[in-house]
A and B are shown apart, each in its own frame.
Chain A
Amino acid sequence: MKKLLAALGAAATISLTAFSAGAQTYPERGITIVVPFAAGGPTDTVTRLVAEAMSKDLGQQVIVENVGGAGGTLGAKQVADADPDGYKLLLYHIGMATSATLYRNLPYKTLEAFEYVGLVTEVPMTILAKKDMAANTLAELVDYAKTNADKVTVANAGIGAASHLCGMLFMSAIGTPLVTVPYKGTGPAMTDLLGGQVDIMCDQTTNTTKHIQAGTVKAYAVTTPKRLDVLPDVPTTTEGGLKGMEFGIWHGLYAPKGTPAEITERLSKSLQVALKDENVVARFAELGTVPSPEADATPAALKAKLESEIARWKPVIEAAGQYAD
């Protein structure tokens, strides 16, 4: 046992010296970004695009590893436990903030387990209904929902999903609870909306833009302060009469607690370069989103965002009384 402790101690010393030596030459090998969701989803897509651009800037391969499960918290846990050497990072969306309330037994402390690199993007949400919904404006939709509260169904992609959060926010904004229909993922929920099996859904533009453009669903509002370039005909929630219902699915890049500041700064610089990459900007635009501005792709901005979002969602989730564990 003593020997083991001694060995561990020695290992720790070696690794500490390795850090200080490593900070100047960082990165000297490939970096892994953990995406806490399955490959192919919107977060995975965002990460892969950014990772490719960061590889160019850092001169080292940035690999994406998918560690899905438990609403993203398994992947987050893995990074929280990783060596704070800047070689294992986490790209997680708004779930980082909501899981702090949704999960009552998180195996890490959200605000204490990570260092911050910066915000990546904030994907707007769109409020949709099935194609043959009678209402033509957001105000009409709200009226219809209020008068038919026991008939109107709202689809979501599972507890904690963007569409679930947006649905909760919509119901609290109109002050009327509706019948919630959960699905396993966005795909099947969207299928049922297209087929008219459910009435309303609110989801990220990454999933909805193509359907809105093709006219297979009706779009009522975007949850941003300004209209979107890709959907110029869709009014904002404020224009439509739902003031304060502004939110987006923001994505942040994190490192394990204790990662040296020089390294997070270096990563933050690289993220800023990546977010200006032509390919990233173009692909993000096709998905109906924009990269975060340089001022937001910083450790301080991400930290502030996470803190304010945890505070914002806590009462909404507690009011709904639904937890994920």
Chain B
Amino acid sequence: MELFDNLSLGFATASTLANLGFCFIGVLLGTLIGVLPGIGPTATIAMLLPITFQIGDPTSALIMLAGIYYGAQYGGSTTAILINLPGESSSAVTAIDGYQMARKGRAGAALATAAIGSFVAGTVSTFLVALLAPPLTGIALQFGAAEYFSLMVLGLISSIALASGSIVKALAMVVLGLLLGLVGTDIYSGTPRFNLGIREYSDGLNFVAVAVGVFGIAEILRNLEDEHERSVAVKKVSSLWPTREDWRRMAAPIVRGTFIGSALGVLPGGGAILAAFASYTVEKRISRNPGEFGKGAIEGVAGPESANNAGAQTSFIPLLTLGIPANPVMALMIGAMIIQGIVPGPNVATEQPALFWGIIASMWIGNVMLVVLNLPLVGLWVKLLTVPYYMLFPIIIAFCSIGIYSVNSNIFDLYSVAFFGFVGYVLVKLRCEPAPLLLGFVLGPLLEENLRRAMILSRGDFSTFVTRPISATLLVLTAAVLAVVLLPSVRKKREEVFVEDE
């Protein structure tokens, strides 16, 4: 059987002592750098990329790079859970319930859930990559501008579920996020927009700067509100390990998250970004007690983390089969491949089978190492929470400053941190949640770009969104979600208003 031969070739390549070593170093470095606050996967990989250039053998170098990638992803989730500081859009979702779990003294369980979810998702999606890469690529190519637009609309409508408080405020945060995402230059006309005349913002606001501002800095300020009266320290850590009840509750979300993430990750135009958000929405909708979401529901960590990791894995599909990067991290990967003398494209699998299947096998090996490495480290990370908060936050600020600067060497990104720290704090204080804003921020440019492109391609005919079958299906789905999501929550909102009135 061909698949079996391919996989055994892959495992033979990936499990030489040297390659196992590189994979381990990659996972370790990725975790250690990625766990530093304010330094997300993109910055981590950009920082560690040059190290892989020192390795002569391209297969080893790419295996190490893949290890760095998984390590950075996981490290990013760790900071999201422990100090509410997501380094990328997907871990913004993990931060919602993960951080609440940490505040309740269940940081260990949250971290372990994230590790286990990532591992299961990684295992399943590695096999999906091996099995389905070519046919999935075909489907991905069917997605044009109209389809992406409809997909983004579906994602945005679903994001209402991210809110645990007022729906109107959540919607306003999404729209504000969309607008902030448009800051920069209009790619169609080259017109600079909303950049206050500052050239340094002409490529838009830096995601990490906005995320660190509205999540991290805002959280620090909240904790400084009244140091004497309120204990900012998290409750005593109960148990490092998930309880039997936890295991039962995380199983199904992990499976669902894996499939959602695998499916969306294949789409090169931002599908992977939606994976974690979509999974959260699904879990909250089908949960018997949705009220728990936003207050430390383990399903809210298990589902999105699995979706995130599965999406990360399957976003290698367009990279390996088409040579097209699904996100900025994948763009860095392409750069690394080219420097190693491999031009990613449709021919890699046939011309360099050992490399192609070696990378796929090493994805799984990397995931194993991640679990082996991180489960024992959970105890150590949780210990970090015992550092007094007044010592912790100057450290957080320092790392954030370095991390944000190193992405683009743009000092204006540091000014954005201060600004969004302030705005984010005020909005959080007024009971608006930051996660929908971040989703909007990421999707804003994509939404506009695809809307306008779809209209150009259809010569200004709006019916293009319903005459193209995939797009129409997505819009029908959107309508369904709107009906299902909005009706009960409107009722719930009323109840909330009454509660507030009392």
Contacts and interface: CB of A to CB of B under 8 A. Distances in A.
Interface of A: 38-41, 44-45, 48-49, 52, 64-70, 73-74, 77-78, 102, 107, 150, 153, 158-160, 179, 181-184, 187-188, 190-192, 194-198, 209-211, 213-214, 216, 282-283, 286-287, 322-325
A107 to B, nearest CB: 7
Nearest to B450: A188
Given A210-B346, A324-B185, 16 more contacts: A40-B335, A44-B335, A77-B199, A78-B409, A153-B456, A179-B456, A187-B331, A191-B140, A191-B269, A191-B322, A196-B141, A197-B145, A209-B343, A210-B345, A325-B190, A325-B192
B304 interface: no
Interface in B442-488: 445, 449, 453, 456-457, 459
B241 interface: no
A67 B406 CA distance: 10
B333 interface: yes
Contacts of B333: 40
B230 to A, nearest CB: 42
A66 B457 contact: no
Contact of A48 (B143, B185, B339, B457): B339
Residue of B140, B188, B199, B347 with most chain A CB atoms under a 10 A cut-off? B199
Contacts of B141: 191, 194-196
B187 interface: yes
A40 B144 contact: no
A244 B188 CA distance: 28
Contact of B453 (A73, A74, A181, A286): A181
B322 A70 contact: no
Nearest to B329: A40
Contacts of A214: 345-347
B269 A188 contact: yes
B336 interface: yes
A153 B190 contact: no
A248 to B, nearest CB: 18
A184 B346 contact: no
Contacts of A325: 185, 190, 192, 202
Contacts, number: 139
12 contacts: A39-B46, A45-B339, A67-B410, A69-B410, A153-B457, A159-B185, A181-B456, A187-B331, A191-B269, A195-B142, A210-B345, A325-B202
> Interface size for chain B: under 10, 10 to 19, 20 to 34, or 35 or more residues?
35 or more
Interface string B331-357: 111111011010111110000000000
* A contacts with B: majority SS: mixed
Query: Which 5 residue pairs of A and B lie closest in terms of their CB atoms, listed nearest first?
Result: A40-B335, A210-B345, A195-B141, A324-B190, A197-B144
Contacts of B334: 40
A100 to B, nearest CB: 15
Contact of A182 (B187, B202, B328, B343): B187
A197 B188 CA distance: 17
Contact of B408 (A69, A183, A282): A69
Contacts of A102: 190
B324 interface: yes
Given A48-B339, A181-B457, A183-B187, A211 B346 contact: yes
Looking at A40, A48, A196, A287, which has the most chain B CB atoms within 10 Å of its CB?
Answer: A40
B471 to A, nearest CB: 12
Nearest to B144: A197
A287 B408 contact: no
A187 B328 CA distance: 11
B457 A191 contact: no
Given A39-B46, A68-B203, A187-B331, A322 B445 contact: no
Contacts of A159: 185, 187, 189-190
A325 B50 CA distance: 34
Nearest to A34: B409
Nearest to B453: A181
A322 B190 contact: yes
Q: Pick from A38, A64, A187, A324 the residue with the most CB of B within 10 Å.
A: A187
B335 A213 contact: no
Given A210-B323, A324-B185, A40 B332 contact: yes
A219 B102 CA distance: 56
B414 to A, nearest CB: 15
Contacts of B331: 38-41, 187
A300 to B, nearest CB: 30
Nearest to B137: A194
A192 B322 CA distance: 12
Contacts of B322: 190-191, 194
B496 interface: no
A322 B189 CA distance: 7
Contact of A195 (B144, B185, B339): B144
Given A158-B187, A209-B343, A283-B341, A48 B408 contact: no
